[in-house]
Amino acid sequence: MTGRNQNPEQIARDKIDALLEEAGWVIQSAKKVDFNAGLGIAVREYTTDVGPADYVLFVERKAVGIVEAKPEDWGHIITTVEEQSAGYASANLKWVKNSEPLPFIYESTGVITRFTDSHDPHPRSREIFNFPRPQTLQEWYRNKFSLRGLLQNMSPLNHDNLRECQRIEIENLEESFKEDKPRALIQMATGAGKTFTAITSVYRLLKYAKAKRVLLLVDTRNLGEQGDQEFMSYVPNDDKRKFNELYLLQQLKTINMTKNAPI
């Protein structure tokens, strides 16, 4: 609970503490660090050779990221501190050896949080809804490749069983991914096989880009049921198994989703 005499940055840190704890991080002071307290430790005011970092994130005793805290009224200019955050990520940490910059960089007011993954081919910050779990950063750190990085090296599309228009749309979509464009629009005529095209793209994202979940939205229940049936009958041209034998398929009927469900 925030105190009446706290300044705006202290209030922001209390909110950040709550967000980190909700994600499974153990908050500790730099004066007394216990790496046995959990998989993920967020250490406040950690000493670096360029000054104290607001938070340094440790996973399995390994420093993997930093969080720069700012007051809530900095929300509209939070991107202006990215250079400062990057400086802490590149700094030398006291008491532990970090031979390379920390890859995961966050700026947060406790209300707005932005994230940069240096594993991306062209790192840039983006707003996120919550801090990731320590297990997530553990996986990202070990793999050394981000989703955006994997999108740069998708396996060439197998053209078997694809119409010319489907091939063009899928390859153009993947080219836009490589160019790091966050949005794309595919326009296809009625009867051209839009659903099959979408499923093929989803399959390739799951297999080659290691996507965890893909959400396909439609505007009527009938289209949802139709799409569900097409997913279950879909057999990729590089595997003899059906889609639902390879990946968990779930038609969303409530606000809850099965853990790790891609659809």
Pairing state between β 51-59 and 62-69: antiparallel
Residues 6 or more apart whose Cβ sits within 8 Å of residue 22:
130, 131
Q: Please state the φ and ψ torsions of residue 29, each to the nearest 5 degrees.
A: -90, 145
For residue 259, the model assigns a pLDDT of: 55
User: Could you say which of 3.40.50.2300, 3.50.30.40, 3.90.1570.30, 3.90.1150.10 is the CATH number of the domain covering 8-144?
Assistant: 3.90.1570.30
**In contact, 214 and 227? CB cutoff 8 Å:** no
Q: pLDDT by residue for the chain (263 residues), tens digit each?
A: 445 558 888 999 999 999 999 999 999 999 889 999 999 999 999 999 999 999 999 999 999 999 999 999 998 999 999 999 999 999 999 988 888 999 999 999 999 999 999 999 989 999 999 999 999 999 999 988 889 999 998 999 999 989 999 999 999 999 999 998 878 999 999 899 999 999 999 999 999 999 989 998 888 888 888 899 999 999 998 899 999 999 999 887 765 555 555 44
What long-range pairs does 177-181 form, CB within 8 A, spacing at least 24?
Answer: 177/151, 178/151, 178/152, 178/154, 180/120, 180/121, 180/122, 180/148
For residue 221, the model assigns a pLDDT of: 83
Closest CA to 213 of 263, 149, 253, 252: 263
Domain extents in the chain: 8-144, 149-246
For residue 245, the model assigns a pLDDT of: 95
Pairing state between β 62-69 and 113-117: unpaired
For residue 262, the model assigns a pLDDT of: 47
Query: At CA 14, angle to CA 8 and CA 20, rounded to 5?
Result: 135
Distance CA 135, CA 141 (A): 10
